[in-house]
């Protein structure tokens, strides 16, 4: 016992010399058996919404087909089984999940107003019509049913309005003339009268820039956004809060977006939304190659950076969201955009977009097509559902500068931990060959590095500007324990629709309950092991992070 006490005292003196002698950072050279992720936690580089993760629901009928495959089934707003337990529990698990209701057909959708003179007919396939379908209608009884589900699940709703009513063809090929908002205004008033809670009303879908199927000039669009703002102000007069005014739900075009922002500033438009399908068509046979290519993933950073720059220089209160992102357009690709491999793209998008002050990111879709977070027919979560849920529960709003220079096949992102101390680090290994052993260190104390090779220990906490590791036997062990969540594909198959968390398959139980997402606890002085083709969330409560106070 005396010998043990002596060892403790020697250990204490060893660590005290380093701690009292001055601030120190971590040495993570290869000779010490690891690589370094450097996190600057002195201040946040961006801030996201608390409910950053968002998903979409679309309008497509069952006979919407792409490349000979009809992938939507009964999984859209007009036909979804709202009584399904997995569906309800999957949305409730986020508490809350933003749901954006919209898509291509929203601009040919009218709303039932209870007037028997206005026919409320469903979409009908017509190859000569825009997007291949005639005008459709949302019955009021279906809107009522949807809102019962939204209230039960606690979802926050963004509704995409038809922005093409009243437009006429222009000489340049665009559609012009003011938006005829009569039907939309009636629908908004009905929604208010029923007490349905709407987080935001979004005008139009993919009509910005060169448009998809149709386009509207930015000047006219700005005037229509102002009209929507007036409708909302009037309809919600006397309410404690009003829904957000959101537009345009289209692909980023710098000049067009700049015009829209300048003509709606400083506070007429709350959110500007853009869409991302940077992997190309769902029929592309090289989708997996693109997903695993770091240089290809990096290509989307230019869009986020450009939009952030426009907003910063405009003198506006408008913020940026990704309003719809399915990666591969035309409904995605089965066993790619609904399988494990797509979590590499999806989580990288969440990490990258948040660095550029994107406040919300809406995934296409919650269910439907080949890119749903949930399986279109069974409602069971696909791998990306669990990736999204882990992000939502672990990654806080404050975004931290994070660098990893050892190899570009590792993607690294860090945020302040959500509702907890320290930080959460996300590591994505795009390599199928390399297992990485990664240490985490902090940036910016101006200290000289030192190596704590003795007993393999490495500090990552600072106190009063001084870093120290754990002191053996003196009560620091509990504070240096971290929690890790390792995601890998079932049977090592990147195209599996089942994901393992720390080696265990994730699936709802017989009652449709979403499984608990349990971490493994690891001694914090040990490196984070990132297996080939895997994803790791690491919650590090002992990381000293002034930005997270």
Q: pLDDT tens for residues 162-219?
A: 999 999 999 999 999 999 999 999 999 999 999 999 999 999 999 999 999 999 999 9
pLDDT tens by residue, 57-86 = 999 999 999 999 999 999 999 999 999 999
Percent of the chain with pLDDT over 90: 84
The predicted structure's pLDDT at residue 430 = 97
The predicted structure's pLDDT at residue 443 = 85
**CATH number, domain containing residue 249:** 3.20.20.80
Domain residues for the domain of 383 are: 48-397
pLDDT at 448 over 80: no
User: Of 278 and 453, which is predicted with more confidence?
Assistant: 278
Rg (CA), the chain: 25
In a domain, 187, yes or no: yes
* Residue 518 annotated in active site: no
In a domain, 165, yes or no: yes
Segment 305-313 mean pLDDT: 98
The predicted structure's pLDDT at residue 478 = 54
Instruction: Tell me what the pLDDT averaged over the chain comes to.
Output: 89
CA dist., res. 70 & res. 8, Å (int): 68
* Residue 477 annotated in active site: no
pLDDT at 460 over 60: no
pLDDT tens by residue, 210-248 = 999 999 999 999 999 999 999 999 999 999 999 999 999
Catalytic residue (choose from 324, 476, 483, 484): 324
Region of 68 (left: φ > 0; alpha: ψ -120 to 50; beta: rest) is left
pLDDT at 461 over 70: no
In a domain, 508, yes or no: no
Domain count, the chain: 1
CA dist., res. 527 & res. 222, Å (int): 52
Segment 130-159 mean pLDDT: 97
- Comparing CA positions, the residue from 274, 387, 323 lying closest to residue 54 is 323
Least confident among 27-41, 131-145, 504-518: 27-41
The predicted structure's pLDDT at residue 408 = 76
Whether 428 and 411 have beta carbons less than 8 Å apart is answered as yes
Concatenating the DSSP letter of every residue in 45-113 gives SEE--TT-EEEEE----TT--BTTB---TT-STTT--TT-HHHHHHHHTTSS-EEEE--GGGGGEEE--
Q: Is 83 exposed, middle or buried (0-12, 13-18, 19+ CB in 10 A)?
A: exposed
In a domain, 255, yes or no: yes
% helix, strand, coil for the chain, step of 5 = 30, 25, 45
pLDDT tens by residue, 326-345 = 999 999 999 999 999 999 99
In a domain, 342, yes or no: yes
pLDDT band at 455 (very low <50, low <70, confident <90, very high): very low
The predicted structure's pLDDT at residue 352 = 98
pLDDT at 402 over 90: yes
Least confident among 54-58, 401-405, 426-430, 476-480: 476-480
pLDDT at 15 over 90: no
In a domain, 497, yes or no: no
pTM of the predicted protein model: 0.90
In a domain, 78, yes or no: yes
Whether 139 and 146 have beta carbons less than 8 Å apart is answered as no
Catalytic residue (choose from 202, 206, 476, 483): 206
pLDDT tens by residue, 20-60 = 332 222 323 333 467 999 999 999 999 999 999 999 999 99
pLDDT band at 14 (very low <50, low <70, confident <90, very high): very low
pLDDT at 547 over 50: yes
pLDDT at 493 over 60: yes
In a domain, 436, yes or no: no
Concatenating the DSSP letter of every residue in 187-204 gives HHHHHHHTT---SEEEE-
């Amino acid at each position: 016992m005396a010998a043990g006490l002596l060892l403790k005292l020697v250990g204490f003196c060893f660590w005290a010399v380093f701690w009292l002698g001055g601030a120190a950072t971590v040495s993570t050279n290869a000779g010490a058996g690891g690589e370094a992720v450097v996190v600057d936690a002195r201040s946040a580089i961006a801030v996201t919404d608390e409910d950053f993760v968002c998903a979409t629901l679309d309008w497509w009928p069952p006979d919407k087909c792409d490349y000979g495959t009809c992938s939507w089934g009964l999984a859209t707003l007009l036909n979804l089984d709202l009584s399904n337990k997995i569906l309800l529990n999957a949305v409730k698990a986020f508490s809350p999940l933003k749901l954006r209701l919209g898509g291509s057909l929203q601009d040919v959708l009218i709303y039932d107003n209870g007037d028997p003179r206005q026919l409320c007919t469903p979409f009908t396939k017509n190859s000569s019509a825009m997007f291949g379908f005639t005008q459709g209608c949302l019955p009021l009884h279906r809107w009522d049913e949807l809102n019962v589900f939204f209230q039960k699940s606690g979802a926050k709703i963004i509704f995409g309005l038809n922005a093409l009513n009243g437009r006429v063809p222009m000489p340049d090929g665009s559609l012009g003339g003011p938006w005829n908002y009569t039907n939309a205004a009636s629908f908004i008033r009905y929604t208010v009268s029923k007490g349905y809670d709407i987080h935001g009303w979004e005008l139009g879908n993919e009509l910005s820039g060169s448009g998809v199927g149709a386009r509207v000039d930015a000047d006219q669009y700005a005037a229509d956004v102002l009209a929507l703002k007036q409708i909302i102000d009037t309809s919600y007069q006397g309410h404690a809060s009003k829904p957000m005014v959101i537009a345009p739900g289209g692909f980023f075009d710098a000049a067009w977006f700049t015009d829209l922002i300048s003509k709606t500033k400083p506070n007429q438009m709350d959110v500007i939304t853009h869409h991302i399908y940077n992997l190309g068509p769902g029929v592309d046979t090289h989708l997996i190659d693109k997903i695993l290519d770091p240089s290809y993933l990096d290509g989307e950073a230019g869009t986020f950076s450009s939009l952030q720059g426009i907003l910063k220089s405009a003198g506006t209160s408008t913020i940026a969201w990704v309003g719809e992102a399915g990666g591969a357009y035309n409904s995605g690709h089965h066993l790619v955009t609904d399988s494990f491999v797509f979590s590499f793209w999806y989580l990288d998008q969440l990490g990258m977009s948040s660095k550029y002050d994107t406040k919300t990111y809406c995934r296409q879709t919650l269910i439907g097509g080949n890119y749903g977070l949930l399986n279109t027919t069974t409602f069971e979560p696909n791998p990306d559902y669990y990736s999204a849920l882990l992000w939502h529960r672990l990654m806080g709003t404050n975004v931290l500068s994070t660098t990893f220079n050892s190899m570009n096949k590792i993607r690294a992102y860090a945020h302040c931990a959500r509702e907890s101390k320290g930080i959460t680090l996300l590591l994505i290994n795009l390599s199928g060959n390399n297992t990485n052993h990664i240490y985490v260190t902090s940036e910016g104390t101006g200290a000289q590095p030192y190596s704590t090779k003795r007993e393999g220990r490495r500090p990552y906490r600072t106190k009063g500007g001084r870093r120290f590791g754990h002191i053996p036997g003196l009560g620091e062990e509990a504070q240096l324990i971290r929690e890790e969540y390792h995601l890998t594909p079932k049977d090592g198959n990147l195209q599996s629709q089942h994901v393992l968390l720390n080696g265990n398959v994730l699936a709802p139980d017989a009652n449709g309950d979403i499984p608990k997402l349990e971490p493994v606890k690891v001694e914090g002085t040990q490196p984070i092991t990132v297996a080939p083709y895997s994803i790791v969330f690491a919650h590090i409560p002992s990381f000293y992070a002034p930005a997270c106070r």
